[in-house]
Structure 1
């Protein structure tokens, strides 16, 4: 993968990552989606050390740590097991490491740390697969206009509708004043929680978040983590979620929100955009899970960037009532059941704050350019 110094075992390797979920709790497709082969996602420099970001090592741990120390001449090694991801720090100035693992020898050339690119930027961070580029552009424009976002770091996870360079170039042309970076992240997404909601095998997104944190975003002014089907609306109609995080006691805020229904005035077959869905899902099914915005430089090292919060804090001390997510049930590329639409019914309730926010962001105009 271009831009990553990874170590992935071949399909025919006799060594595979052990599964920790009991067989009785594995849903259909578990084995096909489990990441058996990724040893580490990337190796990059930070000061006088190399950082390796990896999925949980499990049975790989002892052999890999020994291999890294051997390759570096027994350099100091620090190992941090985080939730569904691992961080290894190796104190060495080596420009290359010859790593031998599971009978395979790889020459690893560490990648540069690129935190300087995002220094003092307000960054949108997301993982995406095959999302419509128009959705991504609308999502970024909304947060640029409404909250002051001026950078996008997108991890493209195995899209086959377009090339990552094509996506990055198109977004950069659309938003010339912003910093746009698309990372080609060709690792298995992993396995969801299944009927038992046992969330223990969805490694990739946790790897993305902590890779982004340490390689790209250490110097960012603030970072908003969310998905392309989520828009953050200020309750007062004018506040910036980035500013709120920057001025919060802990440098982190979290917020939940509401589902937006699949009701639309569009005819079947017309291209769908956020602006085409303006009605709330009826209570009590309309509350969605939280997301967060943070100042990376104020996060403790032992905290962990997770999907719905940042570990190491209680939820109540971080929760902000000033922002609400609008989670669009019909804007998604990976869950077919959520891509269906229906006509607007008489009892559908329009979300007036969302309408005003979309208007303020210029998303009802045909020409949508956040640089205007």
Structure 2
């Protein structure tokens, strides 16, 4: 369902299917008990069967949710009945990385579904597909919780003025510092954004892994965001930039990241990032409430590091992010946090673009990010490229 905030900004709610509403069965985690921390169960999403069910054309419905895991056999054997026709629906089950989908064929005029499975029976309400909202737009796409409204506005201003973004899609993951209406108002106050949607996403983010590689198996929520956004809203967008509110993309040749992706034969660009940090004794102080991206100027230099004795990488680089043309993305590929799964060409990297990761534009929800460093010219630089990009932004419009 959608709630209009203005003619161009809307608040959207999903129509989830929750297991406790009709069954005692729950999704069971795959992580071994000895590798679960004390709050694993509280963070784990055992209860959401589907985040949402929505139309993908007049005769197709997509249901998206966490991975089915122990529920998969019953899902594959279930029956889906369309209403009001009573017709049985053919469907296909897709289980992806930390994510599950059902694609169903429905008669025209369908307004709901009945799911009958070994674990129970439930009625499913359907949301509209809204890809036309973003048709032809250059879209900023993110998930956010309690990021300060000024940070969100600055993140939008930067991509609007530097890269030509004209649309915004934000999934709010249960912010408590402000309401969805206040967030929508902050976006509506900006010039140049033709359409924006704020999606209420009250689902659990999920337990994190232990390091860069170990036990990334249970953080279902963000994987759901990317595929839900892609399929319910963004399929007709000209291009989509996926990034966090503390990240800003720089161009080494002055081109827009959206334009470059649209001109790229495979329609996707991936790029690494570098940290922007605060320094000992320099403004703003770490606890400054109204600090903004433009308060920071110092970037960590690349730290060359040999890998496998064959090639050199930046040992301090931030993981890749991406910008994509949805129409060029294979239909069975998966939008993931750092890569497009199932699209081999999306693994290629470009050095024409990079992003800057602002360490102190954060409430340190994951770990403390306010540790300061003394300036070291061997490790830090006041980056000219960053300063040039920041100078192009209308920070108060």
Q: TM-score, normalised by structure 1?
A: 0.90
Corresponding position of 2:98: 84
Tell me if the contact between 1:172 and 1:178 (Cα under 8 Å) persists in the aligned partners.
no
SS in 2 for 1:200: coil
| Partner Cα distance (2:274, 2:145) in 1 | 23
Deviates more, 1:98-107 or 1:40-49: 98-107
Structure 1's 323 and 49: CA in aligned 2 closer, same or farther, altered over 3 A? same
Match 2:31 to one of 4, 12, 21? 21
| Partner Cα distance (2:366, 2:227) in 1 | 29
Q: How does 1:196-275 map to 2 (within 5 A)?
A: 197-236=214-253, 238-263=254-279, 264-267=282-285, 269-270=287-288, 271-275=290-294
| Partner Cα distance (1:269, 1:328) in 2 | 15
Deviates more, 1:259-268 or 1:202-211: 259-268
Corresponding position of 2:128: 112
1:163-190 CA distance string (max 9 Å, x none): 1122112211223643111100000001
Corresponding position of 1:6: 16
SS in 1 for 2:250: strand
Structure 2 alignment gaps of length 5 or more = 2-11, 304-314
Instruction: Please state if 1:148 is matched with 2:172.
Output: no
Deviates more, 1:321-330 or 1:333-342: 333-342
Corresponding position of 1:353: 385
Corresponding position of 1:280: 299
Tell me if the contact between 2:270 and 2:347 (Cα under 8 Å) persists in the aligned partners.
no
| Cα displacement (A) at 1:106 | 4.0
1:273-316 CA distance string (max 9 Å, x none): 11111111254353111100010011111211010111233468
SS in 2 for 1:31: helix
Corresponding position of 1:42: 52
| Cα displacement (A) at 1:235 | 1.0
Tell me if the contact between 1:27 and 1:194 (Cα under 8 Å) persists in the aligned partners.
no
| Partner Cα distance (1:252, 1:123) in 2 | 14
Structure 1 alignment gaps of length 5 or more = none
Deviates more, 1:114-123 or 1:335-344: 335-344
Corresponding position of 1:97: 113
| Cα displacement (A) at 1:343 | 7.4
| Partner Cα distance (2:243, 2:38) in 1 | 28
Q: TM-score, normalised by structure 2?
A: 0.85
More strand, by proportion: 2
| Partner Cα distance (1:129, 1:295) in 2 | 26
- Superposition CA RMSD, Å: 2.4
| Partner Cα distance (2:393, 2:24) in 1 | 53
Structure 1's 243 and 275: CA in aligned 2 closer, same or farther, altered over 3 A? same
Deviates more, 1:151-160 or 1:174-183: 174-183
1:196-230 CA distance string (max 9 Å, x none): 62211111111100001110001000001010011
More helix, by proportion: 1
| Partner Cα distance (2:294, 2:227) in 1 | 32
Instruction: Please state if 1:31 is matched with 2:41.
Output: yes
Instruction: Please state if 1:303 is matched with 2:342.
Output: no
| Cα displacement (A) at 1:361 | 1.4
Match 2:343 to one of 313, 321, 324? 313
| Partner Cα distance (1:224, 1:155) in 2 | 14
